[in-house]
Amino acid sequence: MSWNQLLTVALFISQFQNIPVQLKTLVTDIYVVAGQENIKAVWKEPNLHVRPYKELAVITMAKMPKETLEFWKWDDSGHHAQPHPDSNVPPHLRVDYLTHSSVARLLTGPGLKPLTDRFTKNLMLRLSKSEYLNQEWSELPDLFAFMQQQLFPAAVEAMCGELIFSVNPKFVGDFWAFNKGLPYLAKGYPRWMVPSAYRARDTVLNGLKKWHLAIASKLKCPPIAMDEWSPDFGVELVRFRHDAWSKMPLMNEDAAATEDLGMIWAANGNSIPSSFWMIAEVVRDADLLRQVRAAVAKYVRVSEHEGLDFDYERLCNDPLLQSVYAETLRLHVASFIFRGSDRKDFDLNGWRIPRDAPILVSGHDAQMDPDVWTPKDKPHRRPIHQFWPERFLLGPTAQAKGTAPDFSFKGLGNSWLPYGGGNRMCPGRHFAKQEMVSSLAMILTLFDIEMVNPKGKIPENDLVGYGFGALWPKQPMPVRLLRRKA
């Protein structure tokens, strides 16, 4: 039986028997957890660590040096501000806490607004100058490739500054080539089987080292404010991480390149394919496109000096747009979420999971659970494989009472897992939502857009990336674009 088949069986048993299932592999035993109650128990345990990610993926995916991985494992102080009482790790070597908390500060704290402001400004500028913004229809061979080319530089510049692109003029293409080969690297294919995936990884890591060399002296500056931005290294987070690593002997230049690749991948590898899917799902359905345009139009602001702009806060809180966003992630993101318990065995609703054994939750399987998404007592709910833009709007009963349809995750919390869960849930979720909703709003406002393929046919999910977050489209999606009349 292949790994995929084994996992499917384990998930099936776990879901229906409501128990964790031990899956024996050549490398280690993995404990597969499914079902709302069991997943909730995993999220509720605050001390589970995320080292299985590093152990199972990062070493192959992003070439983390072996000794650095050992250093991560040695840090047993936990990811909370207060180190674990039994730990002797000195504060400056708390690599997990320092890395995790600095990212959280940027993405869930005061750094978020300046970051999203810079991203939306960058993207609007790029789209306004697009060669496809014409008075005549022009054909774009692949909407996904277009989104990769537009969104990636807008987001990376907002986070890491401009210099990364000056020292690596091909960085956009290099990154996406790496991302394409990533599932093969993560599954441990040897170099001779997928040489292009390895080459792409080496190229992007070398590019990051070149950038690190170019900013080394600039990173020695004192901390900058959360709303400040350096064209050389971007936001304070980048300076902070490099400063912290410079005090950790095992975080050498290879490890720093790996960690920055991990961050750039986490920040773009999921949200950009997801932004593509959101537009694709809307454009395929003329009725939905009309409704979404009407919703977006409510938040347009045209400023005399800066041109087209939006009230992004209200835009991202619009019920229909939120529901379309959540349904897009439900169908097109398939994350495997890993945890481990490092000091003692983990008691999962009466079942014992040995300390340090990897625990796996499959997000997509939870997002396709018929008991949750199409229960028998809610016959109006559409089939789970169908994109239903109103899935997260409160149902007909609430509407009959005269209340406007509202967005809600009620009863779905532990079954909608694109961002993982518990206290290690993705810290970039707020930024990702802004990216997805604002790029949709900008593209639909600037362009008239038509599908070239027969009506309603969008690409399929490419399952080669199953488990690694947002799936890529299996086929290109050609579209026609035209500048929209004001």
Question: Using CB under 6 A as the criterion, which residues of the chain lie in contact with ligand HEM when the complex forms?
Answer: 50, 100, 103, 107, 263, 266-267, 270-271, 274, 333, 335, 337, 418-421, 424-428, 431-432, 469-470
Nearer to ligand HEM by Cβ, of 198 and 275: the residue is: 275
Give the nearer residue to ligand HEM in terms of CB position, either 84 or 199.
Answer: 84
285-294 CB contacts, 8 Å cutoff, 24+ apart: 285/389, 285/456, 288/324, 288/389, 289/444, 291/320, 291/389, 292/320, 292/321, 292/324, 292/440, 292/444, 293/444, 293/445
CA dist., res. 276 & res. 151, Å (int): 10
Nearer to ligand HEM, 426 or 481 (CB): 426
Residue number with CB closer to ligand HEM (356 or 450): 356
C-alpha to C-alpha distance for 260 and 266, rounded to whole angstroms: 10
- Of the two residues 184 and 265, which places its CB atom closer to ligand HEM in the complex? 265
Give min distance, CB of 322 to ligand HEM, in A: 14
| CA neighbor of 120 nearest in space, from 285, 264, 269, 301 | 301
Residue number with CB closer to ligand HEM (394 or 442):
442
Q: Residue 115 CB, nearest distance to ligand HEM (Å)?
A: 8
Distances (CA, A) of 229 to 15, 70, 223, 429, 470: 47, 34, 11, 21, 29
Residues 6+ apart with CB under 8 A from 65: 252, 254, 255, 258
Closest distance between ligand HEM and the C-beta of residue 135, in Å?
34
Query: Least distance from C-beta 79 to ligand HEM, angstroms?
Result: 7
Instruction: Please state the closest distance from residue 183 (CB atom) to ligand HEM, in A.
Output: 15
Rounded CA separation 131/121 (Å): 18
- Provide, rounded to whole angstroms, the least separation between the CB of residue 99 and ligand HEM: 7
Q: Decide the pairing of beta strands 29-33 and 359-362.
A: parallel
Q: Minimum Å distance from CB 328 to ligand HEM?
A: 9
Closer to ligand HEM by Cβ: residue 56 or 103:
103
Q: How far apart are CA 225 and CA 308, in angstroms?
A: 28
